[in-house]
Structure 1
Amino acid sequence: MFKFIVALIVSCGVLCGAVPLDLSRAANSEFRDDTADDGKGGWTDQGAENDLRTLAPGVIRCAPVEFRIAGGRRAAIVLGKTPQRDFASSARIDLNGKTLKTLFLLHAAAWLPAFERPLGYIRIAYMDGSEEELPVLSGRDVGNWWEPTALCNGIVAWEGRNPSSVVGLYASSFALRGGAVRHILLRRSGLTGLWMVAAVSGSATEEVLENREKSRVLREKGDWKRLPFRREVCKGSALDFSFLLDAPAGKYGFLKVENGHFVFERNDRPVRFYGANLVHAACFPSHDRAEELAEISARTGYNVIRLHHFDDKILASERRDSVSLHPGQLDKFEYLIAALKKRGIYVTIDLFMSRKPAAGEFPQIRNDRDYKLAAMLIPEVNRNLKEFSRNLLTHRNPYTGLTLAEEPALLKLSIINENTPFHLIMNGVSKGVRERYRAEFERRYPGGMKGGEPDPELFRKFISDVYIAYYKDMAEFLRGLGVRVPLTEQNFIASPNLAVHRELYDYVDQHLYYDHPVFPEKTWELPMKFHGRSVIADRLQSPARIAPTRLFDRPFTVSEFDFSGPGDYRMQGTPIFAAYAALQDWDALNRFAYSHTLSNPGCFDAADDPVRLLGDRLAAVFFLRRDVKPARNCVPVAVSPEAHKDYRQLYPEAAGELALRCRTGSIVWRGEATRLPAGTEQLYALAPEIIGEVRKGVPVLRNPKNLVTEVASSTGELHVDFRRNLFQAVTPRSETLILPEGETLSGGILTVRNRKSACAAGVIALDNRPLPESSRLLVLHIGNVRREGLTLRSSGMVVEDYGSGPLLVRKAVADFTLALPPAEWKLYALDCSGRRLAEIPFERNREKITFVADTFARTGPAMAYELVRPAP
């Protein structure tokens, strides 16, 4: 009888509680999309590497509401428009008189409009003929489906993963005037942005989603203790890695390319570079501060610094143009270069990063993305780029006596930072620049329009042709100024389609971040979201994601990489990245960043972060000192020379994971004329003409039938266990063991039993001898460090405040055992500058030394130790 009454009430149009609404007639899309950009939809129409097929049909509960996920070809509603094309403009859900007081959406967005701009509208048509309309606001009611984070009116109700990212859906509630509803109309706003609705539920009563978000503030108590810190590194201490540098920079002449690697004019041995970025105001220190900064960089082991985002700040704050350099700023900039050069530190730059036009100079340019695209096509903007470049590169530095064009300490040069035209076009461009591109396209291809829009394949060919002509012209211009260093561009996006363009360059450069912040409200403003996951558990996406983008016949550099945020596993990143970069035999790495301001470090900065700075020591020996051997064998990825026909933003994950075993990179497949690199075992084919011939024999680590849990490098030095979250690099002169709490791991001479908190353990021979023969060892026990006052929302990693108090180190405890020959060993705990705090007792059992590494040591918090004996 009770069931009958409930059924009767519902059939009469009253919703009891929050119940799912039927979308079968309104839905216009499926969650699966097999082919990217084919105009047939399927979620965001971005292909199998970036769809929502992982969302299974069934029920998703988010108290007090229940959502029902449908399957098949009509499962979701997708509305809006992307920079490429229009999707549906509206969808109607018929209710036929059901009473609603609260509406719930399970939804997400792509190409999200600016914060609190309308992505779409909900129009409620009541049976009495009245209507009400509610906006759905970006960053308040709905957020990006990649790396979702809770919003003011958007609880993350479901999370999953596709090959490109962690993805999710938001549950949002909307209070209605209430009454019997004829239908609900969901309509797009007209702004660029895609609104994807997976399910809708409604209630006849006022209902509120349970707010599961609470904030917690980090204080010095429990597992967190104050960590004394100063930026200076004590000269001659165990943390002074200046022994890796060869001063002054430029002593061997200009850098050039030979046999696929960098060499100097007067030294034919391949050379590598490891360092950091200085960004914005940090590129303009006072003279005294420049000397301090250069000395700290040298003692950290950096032999290259990338000067980044300096171009806007090297101009006058009030100016008539965007090319005239400010004398005071230029003086600071050039003095810094001289200070770095004196210590053996090279510099690398881009010629455009974020320079803004002067008032009225280029009205059609609204942002740096517009400028980058305009410089490729619009003559007056291209002239602006050349004029700024001439002013910068031909000014004589009074502290070196050379212009930058003449300066051998200028290592290499990228023309425009992150200038990837396919990606920039897809992410939108201002009206004035877009119209110039369309007009030029129609001029070159009079019959190239289809339905009022450019033919996609033909338009990609046009973009490619524009880019190639632009790059060749800029390279010729720079050589005409006397620039002799290697040139590159498009240092962003791991797309196989860029291989053809990158054949134009002297070297290939890339950027890659793991746990890059996501901005749920305003870009580059708090709150910021991080996922905080282990990069090992994520199958080493960094560095695997960019490994295939390298071209085998030229050097490969990474001018930006980082493992961001305050997560408990971030100590894994830098040593792992550098170890695999060495296995790949890459040529230069610049971690992002050392500092943006030198006084108030941001979410990427290492200046006040011992986790990053200690990780740099392991990275420096693995990569710069070449402790990790390059793999001799390789599996190239064959890509098509017809880049314009099909744009893929990423390589398949299986291609990237080849880098965990052997060398990999791309070759552009041109049939029998294709030259395979030495050591080629097989090909991983993306070129359509050879897929059928070679893919069966490729040693793929990831595919639907084969997901390996452990991978050892072909050299035997690197080993990763995805299941247990373990990594080890074991070389004759250095080792690192990375392991979570409760695990034990052994290398060559080092064994660690980790009792508390994830850590990166390491041992480095400071005298270049094999570890058992060394007389001076640096032993590292890197836990986590955060700043007091750090405020996180809920149990996740949404940062509301980075804190302004002292550094706090997390309690981490591990038993360290080192198999070393008998000798009069002494062990010292070190502070963050390398100064000895106290001698540490240890146990001696035959040829093994064992001690407890505790970041809360009585001698003072410590994450580094020095183990010494009299020289034999």
Structure 2
Amino acid sequence: MRSRVQLGMALAVAMAGVAVETLAAEAPGWRALVSPSGSIALEHQGRPLGALEPGLFEVEWRHAALAPATASALPADGVQRGQIRCPGGAQVTTELRTTAVPGGLRLAYRLVPQEAVRLNSLHVNLSLPASELRGGRYVVDGEAGSFPAERGPAHLRLQPMRALTLVPPGGTPLRFAFAEATPVLIQDDRQWGPSFSIRIGPQSDGTTPWPAGKALDLEFTLTAEGGLAVEYDAPVTLEAGPEWLPLDLELEIAPGSALDFSQLVPWHAPAGKLGRVVPGPGGTFAFAQEPRKPVRFYGVNFCFSALYLPHEQADRLAERLWRLGYNAVRIHHYEGELVDRSSGTSTRLKPEALDQLDYLVAALKQRGLYVTTDLYVSRPVFAHEVWEGATGDVPMDDFKMAVPVNERAWANFAQFTRALLDHVNPYTGLRWAEEPALAWLSLINEGNPGNFLGRLQGRLGEDWTRAWNRWLTERYPDPEARARALGIAPGQQLSEPIPLPPRLDDSPSGLLLSVFLAETERRFVERTRRLLRDELRCPALLTDCNAWTNPLQLQAIRPAFDYVDDHFYVDHPEFIENPWQLPSRCPNSSPVAAGAPGGRPCAFTRLLDRPYTLSEYNYSGPGRFRGVGGILTGALGAVQDWSVIWRFAYSHDRRNLFQPGTAGYFDLASDPLNQAAERASLCLFRRGDMRPAPHAVAICLDGDALLRSPQSARGVAPDWSGLALVTRVGTLVAPGSGAPSVRLLAGAAPAGATLPDIDPYAPEAGRQILAALRRRGWLKPDNPTDLATHFQSETGELTVNGPADVLVLDTERTAGGYAPAGKRIEARAVTVAVEETDATVWVSSLDDAPIPRSRRLLITHLTDLQNTGVRYADKARRVLLEWGRLPHLVRAGRTTVRLRLRDAGRARVWSLSTGGRRTGTVPARVEDGSLVIPLQVDADGKARMLYEVTVGE
């Protein structure tokens, strides 16, 4: 058997080479990249289309994926070996044997749990982007089905199959042929994420353990029409060379340079000069002394030691932030260095750390930067402070869940709040509670009550079970009514105490759970508001529930907040073995090709009658497409007319604030590419280069009905979230409004035209709403929006073409976008031809004049940036093994920018350092009255990304 496998592998490798050579000229529709661990990355027409690989769901649908390859090449025996580590600790070994067949490969998988483990599914899975497959077809044993453009039921097909064919829209078929009838699930995953999945293998209810040592064998051929080009993957390490150029990083911004954004928007200092930040007109913020003038803020997060600096460094940092163009800072993950736990409590503050934090706040205030924080983020709390006799510390997420239902946890939360807000900052002379620069407060970071239901075990579980039973008894004093509400059949015994349902769903108990969680949150918010307003006399604007689980019932209590806050990430790391340790995984695929989904669902948590903030977002490292994040988020915030955006984060570590550090997942201070991308957001959003959409589409919800007689616990975001790129969206919550409906708003007033026949959560709702917008003339006849792959804002200033993988910005003062190599970005005043390496490129006027009349402009050309020596498990760079070292490396690339300037003949172009210094002139020419600037990253063996254009200097 072994010799036959080796022969088969040799043949597979040989045929793979033939397929690559032969099909390259014919542009094969499908390509497979086989890793040493047994993961197969698939590409279709040159675009990533997911990975075929073993995986599982442990009981309660806890997901586990294949660990990355550690071998650097194909094993000598030709068997790809891998491992899956279950959330509960069990391990599953995997083997893949591949054999070449005409048009593709025969794949033989063996998955073997090494310990008995309860599973909902053990499988080989292929997850496919919805943007690539919606509108396509599948054929099961000769019977056709479709991948719907709009989300419907999750299960599209579940049955034993002998043959399965997938046909993407406009693409070539991919075929699975099984050796024997094999259970396969075809699933629409869009209620959880933007994908479809093909899950090959048995489903289970998780009650009976899968025995240790029992193998699951799956065998099938994978072929494509026209052939499947096959290549065997291996780890890659990036070093300096012709393709990757070293970059010199300067952290300080040269005063008066093209990168000095301190005067981007006329501003005031100190913060608070115009009074407190207050709710303004039309769901915006304003200042108390100018209550009818909307204002926007754009800032960054600081975490851990980056908040605790010597005074001189705090001044330098505040000055830098001002010159970068920020006017807001979020103090985050601040408690660990601040609290003194030496006495056995976690609510006392260290005088030295408090002095440093006070001084930083004063330095920010002096330069006009406003501040927010959360009253609980990650403070280490002793378990005995919450449960008598307990030892150790309370895990962060457990404490978040304990505060609303445990009196000792609440008392601890309140005592820390008093210690922080009631102390006087000696550098401002004000208590934090009355500091106008402290404009906003969130109560508990990422504490939505549905986030951590799976953690409710032990004493914490007992606390929640008691609260649940008290609430049930208050709501349904009669035991029979209680049983009916829970869906318990007549005559069936009602257990005491009634266990907390395990999940939010549309079962009777799941619906009641969603109401209970929402009402528990409302009581917590009301109690905390009394503490802040009545006892501490703190007028800062308040919010809570800023991430993740947002059932409709939670939206019903958001009117208790002064503003709504949320978070989102693109390419957030997925940790394969241990939390916050390498290896980690990210999709590393173009968000533009996917229809720019980042942040779209968040737009619907907004209440349209009050301000909206985004206190965390990032297009995270080391994803190669992160340069487009500044454009996409700035544009989204501008179209939606949000009020504040904070990037996560500027720094987690004081060590990278004043000397260069290696790029990581989040920190701008050590990622000059993402720092450069910020300037797009600053121009589009803070300066307002992109106009807000003049109209809005609101989902109208009856808050009382959602809590009194819930019909669904689904998330608030509908399937047509792509409309957030087109017009303003959000929710309106009002009693007596009946079933969820859609209202079209012209301007900021909540009154508008209700469309009673449209259920916002019906599969056809997006298509119906889009048609209504066209009938009213809100979208121009040539607007290409289809809510699937093409999106264009009402104003025409933002266009996303998913199939072409092209983004276009076309405003008067900022223009450009993103495109793959070989494509163009066409705007009125700017044309960009991307000639080598996919790139994000834009031009911004620096003197407030439209681009054609501007005398000073900034051009940004972003390809990719990595650390020297960074190591990935695969050529697609989806699995990160090692971060590497300095210097940063920038991917080589060339592009040509054409500026339609009035005085093009008087223009000069300079390359810039990351601090804004002019480092050299760049040749340019005038053609047909336009300035033509050939740009390339490589400048005598060093990298550059930034350019300044002056006219008549």
Structure 2 CA distance, aligned partners of 1:763 and 1:468?
A: 46
CA separation of 1:143 and 1:325: change in aligned 2, threshold 3 A: farther
Matches within 5 A, 1:344-383: 344-358=368-382, 360-363=384-387, 366-383=394-411
Determine if the alignment matches structure 1 residue 856 to structure 2 residue 927.
no
SS of the aligned residue for 2:452 comes to helix
**Which moved further from structure 2: 746-755 or 662-671?**
662-671
Task: Determine which of 892, 900, 922 is the counterpart of 1:840.
Answer: 922
Determine if the alignment matches structure 1 residue 791 to structure 2 residue 765.
no
Determine if the alignment matches structure 1 residue 806 to structure 2 residue 887.
yes
Alignment-derived partner of residue 44 in structure 1: none
Counterpart code for 1:864 = L
Determine if the alignment matches structure 1 residue 255 to structure 2 residue 235.
no
Counterpart code for 1:294 = A
Question: Aligned pair count?
Answer: 746
Structure 1 CA distance, aligned partners of 2:286 and 2:669?
A: 30
Alignment-derived partner of residue 109 in structure 2: none
CA separation of 1:459 and 1:737: change in aligned 2, threshold 3 A: closer
TM-score normalised to the size of structure 1?
Answer: 0.77
Matches within 5 A, 1:158-557: 162-163=189-190, 164-165=192-193, 166=195, 200-201=217-218, 214-243=234-263, 244=265, 245-259=267-281, 260-268=283-291, 269-316=293-340, 318-358=342-382, 360-363=384-387, 366-425=394-453, 427-446=454-473, 447=479, 448=482, 450=488, 452=495, 453-454=499-500, 455-480=509-534, 481-493=536-548, 495-497=550-552, 498-557=554-613
How big is the shift at 1:158? 12
Counterpart code for 2:329 = I
Alignment-derived partner of residue 88 in structure 1: none
**Which moved further from structure 2: 290-299 or 555-564?**
290-299
Counterpart code for 1:279 = C
How big is the shift at 1:474? 0.4
How big is the shift at 1:200? 3.9
Matches within 5 A, 1:642-791: 642-643=705-706, 645=710, 646-649=712-715, 651-654=717-720, 656-668=721-733, 670-671=735-736, 677-679=745-747, 697-699=768-770, 708-791=788-871
CA separation of 1:133 and 1:495: change in aligned 2, threshold 3 A: closer
SS of the aligned residue for 1:567 comes to coil
SS of the aligned residue for 1:282 comes to helix
CA RMSD of aligned residues (A): 4.3
Alignment-derived partner of residue 46 in structure 1: none
Alignment-derived partner of residue 619 in structure 1: 681
Contact 1:108 1:143 in 2 (8 A): no
How big is the shift at 1:213? 6.0
How big is the shift at 1:316? 2.3
Counterpart code for 1:432 = R
Alignment-derived partner of residue 629 in structure 2: 573
SS of the aligned residue for 2:595 comes to coil
Contact 2:271 2:436 in 1 (8 A): yes
SS of the aligned residue for 2:667 comes to coil
CA separation of 1:686 and 1:648: change in aligned 2, threshold 3 A: farther
**Which moved further from structure 2: 678-687 or 439-448?**
678-687
Structure 1 CA distance, aligned partners of 2:432 and 2:439?
A: 10
Determine if the alignment matches structure 1 residue 134 to structure 2 residue 190.
no
CA separation of 1:80 and 1:853: change in aligned 2, threshold 3 A: closer
TM-score normalised to the size of structure 2?
Answer: 0.71
Structure 1 CA distance, aligned partners of 2:82 and 2:890?
A: 40
Query: CA deviation digits over 1:132-167, x for unaligned, max 9?
Result: 98316899x98998989xxxxxxxx99997313357
Structure 1 CA distance, aligned partners of 2:870 and 2:920?
A: 30
Structure 2 CA distance, aligned partners of 1:66 and 1:416?
A: 39
Query: CA deviation digits over 1:252-281, x for unaligned, max 9?
Result: 111111332111111221110001110111
| Structure 1: unaligned runs, 5 residues or longer | 1-5, 7-15, 19-59, 68-75, 85-102, 122-131, 149-156, 173-183, 204-209
CA separation of 1:161 and 1:202: change in aligned 2, threshold 3 A: closer
How big is the shift at 1:479? 0.8
Contact 1:669 1:687 in 2 (8 A): no
CA separation of 1:160 and 1:820: change in aligned 2, threshold 3 A: farther
Structure 1 CA distance, aligned partners of 2:680 and 2:39?
A: 50
Structure 2 CA distance, aligned partners of 1:541 and 1:690?
A: 18
Structure 1 CA distance, aligned partners of 2:114 and 2:918?
A: 64
Structure 2 CA distance, aligned partners of 1:444 and 1:320?
A: 34
Counterpart code for 1:843 = R
CA separation of 1:229 and 1:662: change in aligned 2, threshold 3 A: same
How big is the shift at 1:64? 13
Contact 2:274 2:289 in 1 (8 A): yes
**Which moved further from structure 2: 275-284 or 816-825?**
816-825
SS of the aligned residue for 2:114 comes to strand
Structure 1 CA distance, aligned partners of 2:126 and 2:722?
A: 22
Structure 2 CA distance, aligned partners of 1:240 and 1:77?
A: 49
How big is the shift at 1:700? 7.2
CA separation of 1:78 and 1:626: change in aligned 2, threshold 3 A: closer
Determine if the alignment matches structure 1 residue 82 to structure 2 residue 137.
no
Contact 2:766 2:787 in 1 (8 A): no
CA separation of 1:569 and 1:225: change in aligned 2, threshold 3 A: same
Contact 1:119 1:137 in 2 (8 A): no
Alignment-derived partner of residue 52 in structure 1: none
| Structure 2: unaligned runs, 5 residues or longer | 7-32, 41-53, 63-78, 95-111, 129-183, 221-229, 474-478, 489-493, 501-508, 657-662, 774-784
Query: CA deviation digits over 1:772-794, x for unaligned, max 9?
Result: 22111111112211110111111
Query: CA deviation digits over 1:354-384, x for unaligned, max 9?
Result: 1121363234674122111211011111111
Counterpart code for 1:416 = I
How big is the shift at 1:607? 0.3
Contact 2:443 2:543 in 1 (8 A): yes
Counterpart code for 1:602 = G
**Which moved further from structure 2: 587-596 or 368-377?**
368-377
How big is the shift at 1:686? 11
CA separation of 1:432 and 1:62: change in aligned 2, threshold 3 A: same
Structure 1 CA distance, aligned partners of 2:232 and 2:941?
A: 41
**Which moved further from structure 2: 824-833 or 588-597?**
824-833
CA separation of 1:720 and 1:314: change in aligned 2, threshold 3 A: same
Structure 1 CA distance, aligned partners of 2:927 and 2:760?
A: 62
CA separation of 1:334 and 1:443: change in aligned 2, threshold 3 A: same
Structure 1 CA distance, aligned partners of 2:407 and 2:61?
A: 24
Contact 1:765 1:774 in 2 (8 A): yes
Structure 1 CA distance, aligned partners of 2:336 and 2:583?
A: 26
SS of the aligned residue for 2:301 comes to strand
Over the matched positions of the two proteins, sequence identity in percent amounts to 29
Counterpart code for 2:463 = R
Structure 2 CA distance, aligned partners of 1:803 and 1:65?
A: 25
Contact 2:35 2:232 in 1 (8 A): no
Query: CA deviation digits over 1:662-690, x for unaligned, max 9?
Result: 11111236445999744487668899699
